Amino acid sequence: MYCPNCGHECNNVHDRRYFEWFFLSLFFPYIGFIAYFLFKEYNKRAAKQALNGVIAFVGFVIVGFLILILYSVFMGLSHA
């Protein structure tokens, strides 16, 4: 892709704002899930970033629950 003003070749013209969908869906996964289905037909990069944010949120939740369960099990065993 080339710049319309100077004619210089540019590669990341459209990639600069997709990380916002990742962070938005990381903190608000329902919005990211809806954004994925809205964008998947015409803006695949934004849809992918939104879905990656939702997947990262689910991963953080699972890891957090595992840490909480392991902590409660080991603290229960040490007080017994």
Higher pLDDT, 11 or 68: 68
pLDDT digits (tens, 9 = 90+) for 8-27: 766 654 555 778 889 999 99
pLDDT for residue 79 is more than 80? no
What stretches of the chain show up as alpha helix (H) in DSSP? 19-27, 29-39, 44-78
Confirm whether pTM is higher than 0.75. no
d(CA 25, CA 33): 7
Q: Residues 24, 32: contact at Cβ < 8 Å? A: yes
- Which one has a higher pLDDT value, 40 or 3? 40
